[in-house]
Amino acid sequence: MHTIDLAYVGRGIHEELVAHVAEQEGYFDDEGVHVALRDGSGWETERLRGGASIGIGRALVSRLTDGLEWQALCVNTHRPLFWFLGGADVQSMADLRGRRLAVHAPHTAPGCFARIVLRKHGLDPDHDLDCVIRSPGDYQMDLRRLRDGSVDAAYVGSTLAPEQVAAEEGFHVLAWVGDHFQIPAVGIAADTSRLSIVSPALQALVRANRRALKAIAEQPDLAVDYVAALLNRLTRDEAQQHYDRYIKPYFSADGRVDIDVAQKAIDTVAAELGVASTSADNVYQLAR
């Protein structure tokens, strides 16, 4: 049996759902590959390069800024699962002006996406609001800080369901990144200077990932079961609503990339980072 490390670089169903389905349903075993799932959210890029990564967004950023030879072999979705969540007094993106926003660092993929969406709403992240930088996690501390008023809004990921949290806490869902910025953000990526794209283990991993995507698309009850298991504060009905809103319409059934969306996204990210862009064909050639 082949072996390979697979690292997620952020928590939540955005990165974990597809790999979780593949693991629990036995797709890795069926493909003859032992996949060691790693929590790489705190890893430096050098350590990530030794195996495959779910975080295509982070891989793209390091390719643009450091010239590393990351390539995506499978794309799960073009709609990043991050949200702007406002406290009790922040009811719209416009209300963020002059407020304190807990958010990822600008040079990270989620932080870069946040800045792009802020600009789309006419907000300069460096001057129009106070960006309180924090490390990614399960966002529970963000909720605590929203409750005590030490921040006015938070940019949160898919370790929670924003509508459910907002309803319980009296908060407001201001915007979903996926409605405003599309980019291939998660899937299977590898640094081809370290791991050959024809590696049997890597190819087996990709096949299992595609099979999990197909199952999520074609077996909604199965998918909702896994959403409910990963987001265990949700009722089954709430998990169904989350799947219907964010997963079913936007997760790929085959892992392929929309190359036009990818190119526009790469150009936008490069401009935000202040670096040269690159051709999407170089990054997603095998994910078509």
pLDDT in tens, 183-227: 999 999 999 999 999 999 999 999 999 999 999 999 999 999 999
* Spans of all domains in the chain: 2-79+183-282, 82-179
Can you tell me the distance from the alpha carbon of 128 to that of 107, in angstroms, rounded to the nearest whole number? Answer: 19
- Select from 245, 82, 240 the least CA-distant residue to 159: 82
pLDDT at residue 37 is higher than 90: yes
Q: Which residues pair with 186 in a beta bridge?
A: 55, 77
Spacing of C-alpha 253 from chain mean position: 17
Can you tell me the distance from the alpha carbon of 56 to that of 288, in angstroms, rounded to the nearest whole number? Answer: 15
Please list the helix, strand and coil fractions of the chain in percent, rounded to the nearest 5, in that order.
45, 20, 35
Instruction: Give the chain's mean pLDDT.
Output: 95
Mean pLDDT for 10-23 is 95
pLDDT at residue 24 is higher than 50: yes
SS3 at position 180: helix
Give the predicted TM-score (pTM) of the model. Answer: 0.95
The tokens of 105 are what?
């660092």
* Per-residue H/E/C for 260-274: HHHHHHHHHHHHHHC
Q: Strand 83-86 to strand 172-176: parallel, antiparallel, or no bridges (unpaired)?
A: antiparallel
Per-residue pLDDT at 287:
53
Q: Strand 52-55 to strand 2-8: parallel, antiparallel, or no bridges (unpaired)?
A: parallel
Per-residue pLDDT at 285:
73
pLDDT band at 42 (very low <50, low <70, confident <90, very high): confident
Can you tell me the distance from the alpha carbon of 222 to that of 30, in angstroms, rounded to the nearest whole number? Answer: 18
The tokens of 117 are what?
């969406």
Question: CA geometry: angle at 99 spanning 42 and 270, to 5°?
Answer: 50
Q: 3.10.20.440, 2.40.50.140, 3.20.20.150, 3.40.190.10: which CATH number matches 2-79+183-282?
A: 3.40.190.10
pLDDT band at 41 (very low <50, low <70, confident <90, very high): confident
Tell me, what DSSP letter sits at residue 93? G
207 vs 77, 192, 287, CA distance in Å? 16, 18, 12
User: Do 76 and 183 touch, CB atoms closer than 8 A?
Assistant: no
Q: Which residue has the tokens 């809004």?
A: 153
- Select from 142, 138, 65 the least CA-distant residue to 103: 142
Mean pLDDT for 25-37 is 97
Q: 118-172 pLDDT, tens per residue?
A: 999 999 999 999 999 998 778 999 999 999 999 999 999 999 999 999 999 999 9
pLDDT at residue 14 is higher than 60: yes
> How many helices, marked H, and strands, marked E, lie in the chain?
13, 10
Matching fold, domains 2-79+183-282 and 82-179: yes
User: Do 273 and 227 touch, CB atoms closer than 8 A?
Assistant: no
Mean pLDDT for 256-263 is 96
CATH H-level, domain 82-179: superfamily:
Periplasmic binding protein-like II (3.40.190.10)
Per-residue pLDDT at 288:
47
Per-residue pLDDT at 286:
63
Mean pLDDT is lowest, of 30-34, 95-99, 133-137, 147-151, for 133-137
Per-residue pLDDT at 138:
82
Q: Which residues pair with 33 in a beta bridge?
A: 2
